[in-house]
Amino acid sequence: MRFTNKVAVITGAANGLGLDAAQGFAREGAKVLLVDRDPSGEAQAAALRAEGHDARFRQADVTRDAEVRGYVTEAVDAWGGIHCFFNNAGIEGYVRPIVDQDEEMFDAVMAVNVKGVFLGLKHVLPVMLRQGSGAVVNTASTAALVGSAGIAPYTASKHAVLGLTRSVSGEVARQGVRVNALCPGPTDTRMIHSLEDQAGALGGSNDVAERYKAAIPLGRYATPGEVTAMVLFLCSDVASAITGGQFQVDGGRTACPGGSALR
C-alpha cells in the first residue's frame, strides 16, 4: 500500500484518466479527493467509499481561482495536507485546420488545459512547501512533444503544460517537492473517441481509429490502467529522485512516429 496515510487530489476525476487514477490511489491506501466540474464525480467517490476507501468529491471549475482554492482547502481541512496532486483536468477542443478554429473554443482549451494547471500549482504547492514534501504530476500529452495537425490549440496548450512543469520543478525541488509531466499517447478513453469521431466527420472517413492505431508501434491504444501505473510511480517514494521530467505512455509513438513496418 504505497500511499497509506497519504492524501491525493485528482482533477478531472469524474471520468477517464482522472477517475482511473483516483481509483488507483484509493486502492493503494490514499485518502482521495476527486475534483471535477461534472457532478457525476460524487457517484464515483461514493463507489470508492462503498469499497471502504476514504474518498470525497468536490465540484469545481479549475479555471476559477476561488474554486481551486476551495478544493485545496477541503483537502487540507479534511486530512491535514496534500501529498500527491494529479493536475489532470483537460479538454480536447475541435479537430479542424487552424483557419477554421473557433476563438471561443481556443480560449476554453487554454483556460482549462493551461490556466487550470497553473492555478492548481499556485494553490497546491504552498501546502506541499509547508510540509516539506509532495509530488505533482501535470497531464501534458505526446502533443506536447510533437506537432499534431488539426488540433493546434490543444497541442499549444500541452506544450505550455510542459513549460510550466519544467520551470516550476526548479523552483521547488530544494524544498522537497517534485513536479513531473505525464505525456500519454492515444488512450482508450472518451477523449480519443471524440477525436476519432471529429476527424472522421471532417475527412469523410470511418477508419480513423485503425489509422491512429497503425501509427503506434504497439498497434493499440494504451489502457487507462497503464497510464495510472505511471502516475502512481511518479507520486511514490520510489521516484524520489525524479523531477522536471516528461514521461511518455504512448506505445512507442513518439520514438517511432511512423509505426512499425515489420508486421
Q: Which one of the listed residues 71, 94, 154, 221 is annotated catalytic?
A: 154
Taking the C-alpha atoms of residue 141 and residue 158, their distance in angstroms, rounded to an integer, is 6
Residue 14 is assigned to a structural domain of this protein: yes
Q: Which residues pair with 34 in a beta bridge?
A: 10, 57
First to last CA, the chain: 40
Q: For 200-244, what is each residue's pLDDT tens digit?
A: 777 777 788 888 888 899 999 899 999 999 999 999 999 999 999
154 among known catalytic residues: yes
pLDDT at residue number 1: 74
Comparing C-alpha atoms, which of 202, 225, 224, 199 is closest to residue 210?
A: 199
- How far is residue 232 CA from its own chain's centroid? 12
Taking the C-alpha atoms of residue 44 and residue 26, their distance in angstroms, rounded to an integer, is 12
pLDDT tops 70 at residue 262: no
Q: Across the chain, what does the average pLDDT equal? A: 94
As for how many domains the chain has, the answer is 1
Cell numbers linked to 235: 507520486
Residue 206 is assigned to a structural domain of this protein: no
Residue 213 is assigned to a structural domain of this protein: no
Residue 198 is assigned to a structural domain of this protein: no
Residue 204 is assigned to a structural domain of this protein: no
Identify whether the C-beta of residue 55 lies closer than 8 Å to the C-beta of residue 79: no
Identify whether the C-beta of residue 151 lies closer than 8 Å to the C-beta of residue 96: no
Comparing C-alpha atoms, which of 138, 140, 131 is closest to residue 177?
A: 131
Taking the C-alpha atoms of residue 225 and residue 85, their distance in angstroms, rounded to an integer, is 18
Identify whether the C-beta of residue 105 lies closer than 8 Å to the C-beta of residue 217: no
Q: For 160-181, what is each residue's pLDDT tens digit?
A: 999 999 999 999 999 999 999 9
Cell numbers linked to 34: 476527486
Q: For 118-129, what is each residue's pLDDT tens digit?
A: 999 999 999 999
Look up the domain containing 244 and give its range. 7-185+224-249
Residue 195 is assigned to a structural domain of this protein: no
Q: Output the domain CATH number for residue 123.
A: 3.40.50.720
Q: Which amino acid is at 212?
A: Y
pLDDT at residue number 263: 44
Three-state SS for 154-194 is: HHHHHHHHHHHHHHHHHHHHHHCEEEEEEEECCECCHHHHH
216: left (phi over 0), alpha (psi -120 to 50) or beta: beta
Q: For 183-207, what is each residue's pLDDT tens digit?
A: 999 988 888 888 788 887 777 777 8
Residue 241 is assigned to a structural domain of this protein: yes
Residue 205 is assigned to a structural domain of this protein: no
Taking the C-alpha atoms of residue 237 and residue 254, their distance in angstroms, rounded to an integer, is 28
Identify whether the C-beta of residue 180 lies closer than 8 Å to the C-beta of residue 136: yes
pTM of the predicted structure, to 2 decimals: 0.94
Rg of the chain taking only CA atoms, in angstroms? 18
